[in-house]
Structure 1
Amino acid sequence: MTLRLFNTLTSQVEELAPVDGNELRMYACGPTVYDYGHIGNFRTFLQVDVLRRFLKLQGIAPRHVMNITDVDDKIIRNAAAAGVPIGEYTPRFENAFFEDLDALSVEKPEVIARATENIPSMVELIEDLAKQDYAYKTEDGSWYFRIAKFPEYGKLSKKDFSGITDGARVDVDEYDKDSARDFALWKAPKPGEYHWETSLGPGRPGWHIECSAMATKFLGDGLDLHAGGEDLMFPHHENEIAQSESASHKCFARHWFHVRFLLVEGRKMSKSEGNFYTLRDLLLKGYKASAIRMLLISVPYRQQLNFTFDGLAAETGAVERLRTFRDRVRSAQAGTETNPELADETARCRRNFFEALSNDLNTAEARAAIFDLVRAGNAAIDAKKLGAENVTQMLDLLSQFDAVFAVLEDNDARWTKFALDWAARENRLDQVSPELLAQNALGDEEIQALVDKRTAAKRARNFALADQIRNELAEKGVLIEDSKDGVRWKRK
C-alpha cells in the first residue's frame, strides 16, 4: 500500500518512496544535548519513530541518520557555568536522551552522527561554499553564508525575502524566527572558548552547517526525506537548503516532514508557566511510559496535541484495555469453526488501520480501527463464538498494530524503577509522588512471596487471609489477577 505524506516543500500530500532500490534515505534532526529533553521534543521523535516503523511494516528499509548537536551556544554557556569542558558536559545528557528514547520504545536510527566527530566534513563544505562565493570571512575570523546570492531562499517556509540585503549578519544560534540575515557557518572563538584549529582558522561550526555536512556525508545528495519539529522549519531547515543546494547545485531533500509542537493543558509549554515537563518528571509523578507514548502519538503529526493529565490517565486505561484484550484472545477457548462475521470485521479493521496510516500517518484513525477490533473480539469471546482462525487473524492484526504503536509490551515497571533509581542518585526523591513511593515500597520478590502466600491460603480455604493479603497489596498499588492460567500480579 502506497504511503502518502504531506511535503512541507510543496505543501501537498505526495507519495513517499525511495528513489533508488528499497532503502529510504532519511535524516531527522536530533537533540542539542545541553539538558534533559521535554515532552515537546519527544513528540517529534515519537512521530518520526511511527513513520520509520510503518515504513518497515510496508517492506521499506529506512536508512535513518540522526545528528547529536554536542557543541553550540547553550552547551558552551552551560558547561562554563558548571566549570567542566563540553566533552565532559554533553555525554551526561546524550546518555539521558537515549535512555528516554528506550523508555518510550523509540527505535534507534541506523546512524547517529555527533557534530564534534564530523568537523572536517563541515570545514570542507564551508570551503566549497567560499570557492563559489556563497561564503565570506569577516574581520574577526568568522565565516558567513551570503543569503542574497541564493534567490530561492524562503521556498520551504514560504516567506518572502526578496528584499534582503547582503551583509546583515547574525552569529548566535537563538535568533529572530522572522528575519533573514547572513548566518554563521564558522564562529571565531571568544577568549578562552572551546574551538578547533582548521584551515578556516580557529573556531567552531555554526548550527546549520552541522546538519548539511552530516546529512550529505552519510546519505549523499538528494535525500528522500528530511524530518524535524515545526520550530526548525525556519531558519534551520531553510538555511540547510540554502547552503546544501548552493554547494551541490542539486535538490537537498525531496520530501520534508514537520511535526507540530504541543500545548500543555491548553497553554504553550514553558518553565515560567510551570507546565514544563520532561519524561522523567512524568514518570516520577507515577505515569507509565507506555501511556506517555500513546498520548504523544494519538493525534496525527500535523495537528497540535493538547497534552492534559486527564488525557494521560485515559491513555493509561486505553493501553491496559489493549493488553487485556490481547491476553483474552491468547487464552480464549476457540472452536474449529470460524466466526464469519468476526472474520469480516477483523478484515475491515485491518484495512482501515493500513489505510489510515497510508493516508498521511493518521494515527487517530489507525488506533480507532484497533479499538473497533477490541469491541468485536470481546463480544465474540463473551458469546463463545470464536474459531481458531479468528484468533490467528486478531493476533496477527494486533502484532501489526504494535509494530507501529509499540505499547503492548508491558515494561512499564522497569522504567518506573529506572526513574526512581535516577531520582535517588540525583537527590530528587522530593519530586516523586507519595503514591508512587508507596507503590514501590515492596520489591518484586517481596510481592511474589505475598502472592504465593495468598495462593496457599486459598488452597487451604483460608479465604479471610487471602482477602487480607489482596487488600494489603492493593493498598501498595499491586493488583492481582486470577485466571485459568494461574495468578498474575502487576503494579498500578
Structure 2
Amino acid sequence: MTLHLYDTATRSLTELVPVTPGHVGIYHCGLTVQGPPHIGHIRKEVVFDVLRRWLVRAGYDVTIVANVTDVDDKILAKGEEQGRPWFAVAYENERRLHDAYAVLGCEPPTYEPRATGHVPEMVEMIADLIERGHAYPATDDSGDVYFDVRSWPAYGELSNQRLDDMQAAEDAPPSGKRDPRDFALWKGHKPGEPETASWPTPWGRGRPGWHLECSAMAAKYLGHEFDIHGGGLDLRFPHHENELAQSRAAGQKFARVWMHNAMLNLGGSKMAKSVGNTMMVSEVVKRVRAVELRYYLVAAHYRSIIEYSEEALLEAATAYQRLEGFVQRASEVTGGVEPGDVTAAFATAMDDDLAVPAALAAIQASVADGQKLLADGDSAALRETLASVRAMLDVLGVDPLSPQWATSGTSAAYEQALDVLVKALLEQRTQARSAKDWATADLVRDQLAAAGVEVEDTPQGPRWSVKENR
C-alpha cells in the first residue's frame, strides 16, 4: 500500500511515510460542544473513520486523537442563556456527539481528550513560548497571553497568506496586543464569568485559548512529530495556521501531512450553528436510515463540497439500496460469506487520496459481475465476488451485513418479531399458491403491501423487504 494524500501545506499529493514504521498517528480537531452535532460536523468524522479503516486494512496500527473543546466563549454564553452551568451544556452535547458517532457507525477515537483536562500542559507550553520570545502577557492587565505573530516569519505558510494582508484576530480586544493579528494563548478571567471556568497560572486566573488546546493535546498523545493533522477546511485559517505556528515556535516538528475535508453546504452556505442552517444527525436519520446517511456523506470525494438537498439524499439512499439488494440476494444463494479481498481497482482508488467515487465505481463493477453470476448460477465465483464486495463496502463502513446495520432503525427484538410474522404470512401464501388458491395468495400479498412489505418471488423462495414511506 502506498497511500497518497493531498497535503494542504504543500498543495500537492504527498506519500504517507509514517514517523514510526507500521504505525500512523492522526489528530483531527473535534467539536466545540456548545450544541449537538449536525451532518456537516459528522462528515469529518466519517471521512477520518474511512481513512482509519483503510489504514487498518493495510496492516497499520492507527492512533486517532480527536479533542473536545469543552470550555469556550460560546459554551459560557449558552450556559448563561439556558440558566445552567456551562459544564452541563458541554457534557450534554458531548454525549450527543458520541451518539452521532455510534448512529453512523464511526468507531470512537483512540483518545478523546477534553480541553479542561489538559490545562497543565497548556500552561507549560505558554511558559516555553514566552521564554523563547514568541509570546507575551498582555499589556492591559487583562490576564491574557498572546502569541507574537511577527516573531515567527513563517506565519501564514499553511493558508498561503502574507501577514500584512491578514485582518486582526477577533479573539480579544487589540488594546493589550503588540500587533492586532496576535492571537490569544490564554484568556484572563473576566468579571461576570463563572469562577469554575478559570484556572490559576503565573499570569492570573483564566482559561485556554482555542488554538493552544490542540497543540498541547496533540503533543501529549502523539508526540512532537506525528503523521496526519486534519479537520474541516474552515479550520485551515486561523485555527490550524495558529496551531502550526505555536507548535513549531515551541520547537516541535508537528504534523507531516495536513488533511482537510470540504464543507457540507445548505442553501449555498457552509452548514454551521452560527449561521443557523443546520440539520441535526438525530433528525436526518428519521427520514433515511443511518447507513444511507453515511453512504450519502461518504460517496463524494472528501475534498469536494457537498451541496445538501433532500433529492440528493434520497438518490444516495436508492443507490445504496441497490448495493444492499445484491449483497442480500447473493448471501441467500451462497449461504453467506465473510468479507474477503478488495479489487485492485478499489485499492488504486483508495490509495489515490481516498478517491471514494472511483472506489464506488469499482464496487459497482463487481456488483454488475455478480448479477451475471447470479443469473448464471455460478455459486463458486459468486462467493468470491460477494466476499470482495462486502470487503470494499466494509472499508467505507456500509457493509449491509455488518452487525452495526443489522439492527439499525429498530431494536433487534422488533426486527425478529416482524420477521416471524411476515414469514408466517408468506407461508400461508405459499400454501395457497400450491393449492392454486390464487385469491387467497393475492390477498396475503396485498395485505403485506398495504403494510409496506414488498415481496419478491425468487428461485429460492419469496424474499421480503420493507418499503420505506419517503
CA distance in 1, matches of 2:461, 2:29: 47
Secondary structure at 2:121's aligned position in 1?
A: helix
Q: Deviations over 1:403-457 (max 9, x none)?
A: 3111123656855459xxxxxxxxxxxxxxxxxxxxxxx9546634642541352
Q: Does structure 2 retain, via aligned residues, the 8 Å contact 1:225–1:255?
A: yes
Q: Does structure 2 retain, via aligned residues, the 8 Å contact 1:457–1:463?
A: no
CA distance in 2, matches of 1:387, 1:130: 69
Is the aligned partner of 1:317 residue 2:318?
A: yes
CA distance in 2, matches of 1:144, 1:468: 76
Q: Deviations over 1:90-109 (max 9, x none)?
A: 11111111111111111111
Q: Deviations over 1:29-73 (max 9, x none)?
A: 011111111121111221111111111111112111110111111
**Displacement of 1:475:** 3.3
1:383 is aligned to 376
Task: Write the mapping of 1:13-412 to structure 2, written as runs, cut at 5 A.
Answer: 13-138=13-138, 139-162=141-164, 170-172=170-172, 181-193=181-193, 194-248=197-251, 250-264=252-266, 268-269=270-271, 276-284=278-286, 286-332=287-333, 350-384=343-377, 386-388=378-380, 390-409=381-400
Q: Does structure 1 retain, via aligned residues, the 8 Å contact 2:370–2:386?
A: no
CA 1:180–1:486 in 2, change beyond 3 Å: closer, same or farther? farther
Letter of the 1:88 partner, please give it.
Answer: A
CA distance in 2, matches of 1:267, 1:71: 27
Secondary structure at 2:34's aligned position in 1?
A: coil
CA 1:184–1:466 in 2, change beyond 3 Å: closer, same or farther? farther
CA 1:180–1:357 in 2, change beyond 3 Å: closer, same or farther? farther
Letter of the 1:214 partner, please give it.
Answer: M
Letter of the 1:159 partner, please give it.
Answer: Q
CA distance in 2, matches of 1:274, 1:463: 56
Secondary structure at 1:67's aligned position in 2?
A: coil
CA distance in 2, matches of 1:40, 1:366: 22
Structure 2 unaligned spans of 5+: 174-178
Bigger shift: residues 359-368 or 101-110: 101-110
1:475 is aligned to 450
Letter of the 1:217 partner, please give it.
Answer: K
Secondary structure at 1:397's aligned position in 2?
A: helix
Q: Does structure 1 retain, via aligned residues, the 8 Å contact 2:19–2:225?
A: no
Letter of the 2:449 partner, please give it.
Answer: A
**Displacement of 1:481:** 5.2
CA 1:470–1:117 in 2, change beyond 3 Å: closer, same or farther? farther
CA distance in 1, matches of 2:452, 2:51: 35
Bigger shift: residues 365-374 or 452-461: 452-461
Counterpart pick for 1:457 among 428, 443, 452 = 428
% identity of equivalent residues: 36
**Displacement of 1:401:** 0.7
Q: Deviations over 1:173-226 (max 9, x none)?
A: 9xxxxx971111111112232212233320000100000000001111112110
**Displacement of 1:163:** 6.9
CA distance in 2, matches of 1:272, 1:94: 18
**Displacement of 1:4:** 0.7
RMSD: 2.9
Structure 1 unaligned spans of 5+: 174-178, 335-345, 419-441
Bigger shift: residues 473-482 or 370-379: 473-482
Secondary structure at 2:343's aligned position in 1?
A: helix
Secondary structure at 1:35's aligned position in 2?
A: coil
TM score, norm. by length of structure 1: 0.83
Q: Deviations over 1:367-403 (max 9, x none)?
A: 011101111110121123x251x23421331232123
2:176 is aligned to none
CA distance in 2, matches of 1:191, 1:293: 45
Q: Does structure 2 retain, via aligned residues, the 8 Å contact 1:189–1:204?
A: yes
**Displacement of 1:271:** 7.3
1:439 is aligned to none
Letter of the 2:150 partner, please give it.
Answer: A
CA 1:448–1:142 in 2, change beyond 3 Å: closer, same or farther? same
CA distance in 1, matches of 2:302, 2:116: 31
Q: Does structure 1 retain, via aligned residues, the 8 Å contact 2:373–2:382?
A: no
Q: Does structure 1 retain, via aligned residues, the 8 Å contact 2:334–2:383?
A: no
Q: Does structure 2 retain, via aligned residues, the 8 Å contact 1:170–1:182?
A: no
Letter of the 1:74 partner, please give it.
Answer: K
Q: Does structure 2 retain, via aligned residues, the 8 Å contact 1:356–1:366?
A: yes
CA distance in 1, matches of 2:276, 2:201: 44
Bigger shift: residues 193-202 or 351-360: 193-202
CA distance in 2, matches of 1:303, 1:274: 22
